[in-house]
């Protein structure tokens, strides 16, 4: 069946034309689904009854079933969503001051197997389709709307490596940012990568969103351990791709760095990090390690993190020490997929 969630308004108009439906109806349907969050064709009162019935029999407006919702002490919300073929994914809403950030998943599981990450333990079950990515944002928007709030930012930092699913992530970004669909500003969307170097220019050429790079180490020796993808694309090639990445105006590349006790949290590491990012419009986020049942790494001591941040700040590298959000409901970075053992065994297609 066709899915409205996989089309920009222009693409929808084209598909309608092919099916003998007046193309201008696409704008109306997109307005209902993306603008007002109305999914039932029956409720689209400016469409004639026979057209509503025709659309209902040939088009879908949903891709995911809500399965549950967990709310953390700090306000973080984790949505548990089910795909039509029985796969389970997690989408997180992070609440920070006035920001409401939707953390989107791009794959079920992940092939990259970073040892501190629960999602990586699952292996890759499959890529999410465009409509499944878009629907996560629509469902998060509904949850926020019920509280009188709305999403202000979006990060592709949930389950999976988005740059290994650009075939679906780029069309989803086009729909999310299209003025006739979700109309989200590209400058408020961050796509995170563990360093899939050949795909970075592909993303940059397709759409000017912000980029976050999970760096986590300053030597190839340590990064090979923490982000095994480094064995294929070492730090030097990753930073070269960062230098060439077309940033949005006033944009910076966020370098995500998780200080781990006695592994990458020394002042020597901080000094090397300053050298590595020199010449790049960079922002370093120091993210506390979130423990999960499958990881043996320990969080760096706060005084070491402060010292690390101090080295960066003195070198005028913008740095933020992040608080962990949602760790009591396993919704924090690296914890998605850890909460639900059946997730690993979920029967999914493709």
- Residue numbers at the binding site for ligand SF4 (CB under 6 A): 110, 112-114, 117, 119-120, 159-161, 194, 334
Whether 169 and 161 have beta carbons less than 8 Å apart is answered as no
Residues 210, 212, 218: CA angle, nearest 5 degrees? 145
Measured CA to CA, the distance from residue 272 to residue 133 in angstroms comes to: 37
Looking up tokens 């999602």, which residue turns up? 119
CB of 115 to ligand SF4, least distance (A): 8
Strand extents, DSSP E, 11-85: 59-60, 64-71, 77-83
Whether 269 and 307 have beta carbons less than 8 Å apart is answered as no
Whether 314 and 307 have beta carbons less than 8 Å apart is answered as no
The DSSP call for residue 32 is: I
The residue nearest ligand SF4 at its CB is 120
Which residues are registered as beta bridge partners of 83? 64
Measured CA to CA, the distance from residue 166 to residue 272 in angstroms comes to: 31
CB of 113 to ligand SF4, least distance (A): 6
CB of 76 to ligand SF4, least distance (A): 18
Tokens representing 298? 């320990």
* CA nearest neighbour of 268 among 242, 304, 238, 297: 304
Measured CA to CA, the distance from residue 243 to residue 139 in angstroms comes to: 35
Q: State which residue, 225 or 307, has the beta carbon closest to ligand SF4.
A: 225
Q: State which residue, 315 or 344, has the beta carbon closest to ligand SF4.
A: 344
CB of 270 to ligand SF4, least distance (A): 22
Q: State which residue, 153 or 216, has the beta carbon closest to ligand SF4.
A: 216
CB of 36 to ligand SF4, least distance (A): 33
* CA nearest neighbour of 228 among 120, 77, 119, 152: 120
Looking up tokens 């070198």, which residue turns up? 315
Q: State which residue, 14 or 113, has the beta carbon closest to ligand SF4.
A: 113
CB of 160 to ligand SF4, least distance (A): 6
Q: State which residue, 288 or 334, has the beta carbon closest to ligand SF4.
A: 334
Question: In Å, how far are 214, 287, 298 from 156, measured between CA atoms?
Answer: 12, 16, 25
Question: In Å, how far are 20, 21, 86, 103 from 50, measured between CA atoms?
Answer: 13, 11, 32, 39
Residues 120, 122, 127: CA angle, nearest 5 degrees? 85
Query: Which of the residues are catalytic?
Result: 90, 333
Q: State which residue, 59 or 233, has the beta carbon closest to ligand SF4.
A: 233
């Amino acid at each position: 069946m066709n899915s409205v969630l996989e089309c920009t308004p222009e693409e929808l108009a084209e598909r309608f034309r092919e099916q003998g439906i007046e193309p201008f109806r696409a704008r109306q349907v997109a307005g209902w689904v993306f603008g007002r969050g109305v999914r039932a064709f029956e409720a689209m009162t400016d469409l004639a009854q026979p057209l509503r019935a025709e659309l209902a029999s040939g088009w879908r407006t949903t891709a995911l079933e809500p399965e549950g919702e967990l709310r953390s002490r700090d306000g973080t919300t984790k949505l548990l969503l089910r795909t039509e073929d029985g796969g389970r994914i997690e989408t997180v809403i992070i609440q920070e001051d006035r920001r409401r950030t939707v953390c989107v998943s791009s794959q079920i599981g992940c092939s990259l197997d970073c040892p501190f990450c629960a999602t990586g333990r699952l292996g890759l079950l499959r890529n999410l389709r465009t409509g499944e990515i878009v629907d996560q944002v629509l469902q998060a928007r509904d949850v926020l709307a019920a509280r009188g709030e709305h999403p202000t930012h979006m990060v592709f930092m949930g389950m999976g490596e988005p740059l290994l699913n650009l075939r679906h992530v780029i069309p989803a970004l086009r729909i999310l940012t299209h003025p006739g669909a979700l109309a989200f500003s590209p400058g408020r969307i961050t796509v995170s990568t563990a360093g899939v170097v050949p795909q970075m220019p592909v993303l940059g050429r397709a759409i000017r969103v912000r980029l976050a790079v999970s760096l986590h180490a300053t030597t190839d020796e340590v990064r090979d351990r923490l982000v095994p993808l480094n064995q294929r694309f070492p730090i030097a090639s990753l930073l070269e791709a960062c230098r060439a990445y077309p940033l949005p105006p006033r944009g910076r590349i966020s370098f995500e760095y998780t200080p781990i006790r006695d592994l990458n949290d020394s002042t020597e590491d901080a000094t090397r990090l300053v050298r590595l990012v020199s010449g790049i419009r960079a922002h370093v986020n120091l993210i506390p390690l979130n423990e999960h049942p499958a990881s043996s790494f320990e969080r760096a001591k706060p005084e070491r993190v402060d010292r690390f941040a101090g080295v960066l700040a003195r070198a005028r590298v913008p740095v933020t020490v992040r608080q962990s959000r949602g760790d009591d409901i396993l919704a924090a970075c690296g914890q998605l997929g850890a909460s639900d053992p059946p997730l690993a065994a979920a029967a999914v297609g493709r």
